[in-house]
Amino acid sequence: MSRRAGFILAMALLLVLGLLASYVLGKLEPYEDVIEHGPSPEVASSPYLAAEHFLRKQGIAARRAEGLEVLDGLPSEGQTLMLLADRNNMTPRQVERVLQWTANGGHLLFIAERLWDEEEGKSGDLLLDLLGVQQYMSDELDDDESSESEQENEESEAYPQLTKLYLENEQAPAYIAFDTDFHLYDAQNRAHVWANSEAATHLLQLYHGDGLITVLSDPWIWQNRTIDKYDHAWLLWYLSQDSAVTLLYHADSDGLARLLLRHFPLALLVLALLIIATLWHVGMRHGPMQAPASRARRQLEEHLRGGADFLLRRSGQHSLLKGLQQDINRRARRRHPGFEKLAVAEQWQVLGRMTRLPAKDISQAMRPLPPQRLSASDFTRQVAHLQTLRNAL
């Protein structure tokens, strides 16, 4: 074959390959890879950030507070204070101060946190007890109360799980998805506004002095992931209109920094004490060797270790782990009456409030055990999670 014929053949081959490539590329469809990075750190640390932005878009002045110290410079008239944070550490003096601020013309909104204890005649939630509001589990309601609730909601059977708020001059109610496991009871008959689902009451509003108090059964409706559902955002606006709003809830983004700046001398003293304690601990590590444990102590440790090994071989891993979980539930029932009647998710939330442990640690300890046998490391790790939770109780 001549050089010219070879050149022509090569060019023809290139042309065929080019046409084939053009055809294949024409058949391909463009696509995009979407990578979900999850919520930003600001959103993750501020569960009510969307509520703040919504209020500002409605022309309502909204700000976030880190503690009840905000009342020092907060006038009562024309102000709404929303207590959405955990109030377990709220003192009687702070409760009196908040109620006095409300009586002077403020609007106080808070979440019912404790269930009513019939034996003790109180719930332990100071705000609820002083206002005569009692919270029950919906499935504990008497038949009479249930029948009354059903009669009040005859006209709203289309959405039995949703709470309805009826307003004057409005043909249709507002719909809110409160947690229907909880029920608010106005024991002193002071409420002038309330909102019910088919099973229970979830919102009460009553006058207090020259001010107004709104009690809700749960705050989840205004968190970032649920505020856009049903009429949740509308309810937030309705309860906040014609006032400036101060939201008090846990925000981890800058709360620690502000706290340190506010108490800088005390923080400096604590840091110095920590440094001294660390140096003392390091110095003790290089000190004289401790005497060996006595023979009786060593025998006791060997006996306990042998007893634990015997129980593990005889009862198995699952029996021991389930026993620890049952012990945790018993301890929780002593501190929180009605704990055993809560749903699993609610039980974990109560454990988190009582122990101050993260939700991840609670679920790691109390989740159902797998049917298969755990490895030695997994079994030891699970026992450590359960012991940490039990000790925290």
- Lowest mean per-residue pLDDT among 57-66, 140-149, 168-177: 140-149
99 and 211: one domain?
yes
Residue 342 has pLDDT above 80, yes or no: yes
**In a domain? residue 280:** no
**In a domain? residue 35:** no
| Rg (the chain; Cα; Å) | 31
61 and 174: one domain?
yes
Angle, to 10 degrees, between the axis of helix 49-57 and the axis of helix 232-240? 60
Q: Which long-range contacts (CB under 8 A, 24 or more apart) does 120-127 make?
A: 125/87, 126/90, 126/92, 126/95, 127/87, 127/90, 127/95, 127/98, 127/99
244 and 341: one domain?
no
- Lowest mean per-residue pLDDT among 113-127, 287-301, 338-352: 287-301
80 and 225: one domain?
yes
**In a domain? residue 265:** no
187 and 329: one domain?
no
Tokens, residue 112: 């019912």
Q: Decide: 102 and 109 in contact? Cβ < 8 Å.
A: no
Please tell me the distance from the alpha carbon of residue 336 to that of residue 354, in angstroms, as a whole number.
9
Average pLDDT, the chain: 79
Q: What percent of the chain has pLDDT over 90?
A: 14
Q: Which residue has the higher pLDDT, 292 or 148?
A: 292
329 and 218: one domain?
no
Instruction: Give pLDDT tens digits for 167-184.
Output: 877 778 888 888 888 899
Residue 8 has pLDDT above 90, yes or no: no
232 and 335: one domain?
no
CATH number of the domain encompassing residue 192: 3.40.50.880
**In a domain? residue 5:** no
326 and 241: one domain?
no
Mean pLDDT of 260-266: 65
**In a domain? residue 291:** no
Please tell me the distance from the alpha carbon of residue 136 to that of residue 130, in angstroms, as a whole number.
17
How many domains does the chain divide into?
Answer: 2
Q: Which residue has the higher pLDDT, 33 or 322?
A: 322
Mean pLDDT of 90-119: 90
206 and 320: one domain?
no
222 and 324: one domain?
no
Q: Where residue 6 falls among pLDDT bands split at 50, 70, 90? A: low
Q: What is the pLDDT of residue 147?
A: 46
Q: Decide: 98 and 262 in contact? Cβ < 8 Å.
A: no
> What residue numbers bound the domain in which 223 lies?
41-139+160-248
Residue 65 has pLDDT above 90, yes or no: no
- Lowest mean per-residue pLDDT among 142-146, 356-360, 367-371: 142-146
Residue 304 has pLDDT above 70, yes or no: no
Q: Give the residue from 229, 248, 267 where a domain finishes.
A: 248
Q: Which helix (H) or strand (E) holds 49?
A: helix 49-57
Q: What is the pLDDT of residue 142?
A: 63
Q: What is the pLDDT of residue 273?
A: 85
58 and 190: one domain?
yes
Q: Where residue 151 falls among pLDDT bands split at 50, 70, 90? A: very low
In 3D space, the residue among 102, 367, 138 whose CA is nearest the CA of residue 213 turns out to be 102
Q: Where residue 285 falls among pLDDT bands split at 50, 70, 90? A: low
Listing from the earlier edge strand, what are the strands of the sheet with 191-196?
62-65, 244-248, 79-83, 107-111, 211-216, 201-208, 191-196, 163-165, 174-176
Q: Which helix (H) or strand (E) holds 80?
A: strand 79-83
219 and 313: one domain?
no
Residue with tokens 């919102």: 203
Residue 254 has pLDDT above 70, yes or no: no
Q: Give the residue from 198, 229, 248 where a domain finishes.
A: 248
Mean pLDDT: which of 83-87, 130-134, 136-140, 369-373 is highest? 130-134
DSSP string, 329-388: HHHHHHHSTTGGGS-HHHHHHHHHHHH---HHHHHHHHSPPPSSPPPHHHHHHHHHHHHH
Instruction: Please state the φ and ψ torsions of residue 143, each to the nearest 5 degrees.
Output: -60, -35
Tokens, residue 243: 């006032």
**In a domain? residue 4:** no
Residues 6+ apart with CB under 8 A from 51: 62, 222, 223, 224, 227, 233, 236, 247
**In a domain? residue 23:** no
- Lowest mean per-residue pLDDT among 141-155, 217-231, 232-246, 311-325: 141-155
Mean pLDDT of 13-29: 64
Residue 107 has pLDDT above 90, yes or no: yes
**In a domain? residue 311:** yes
DSSP H helices, 215-254, are 232-240
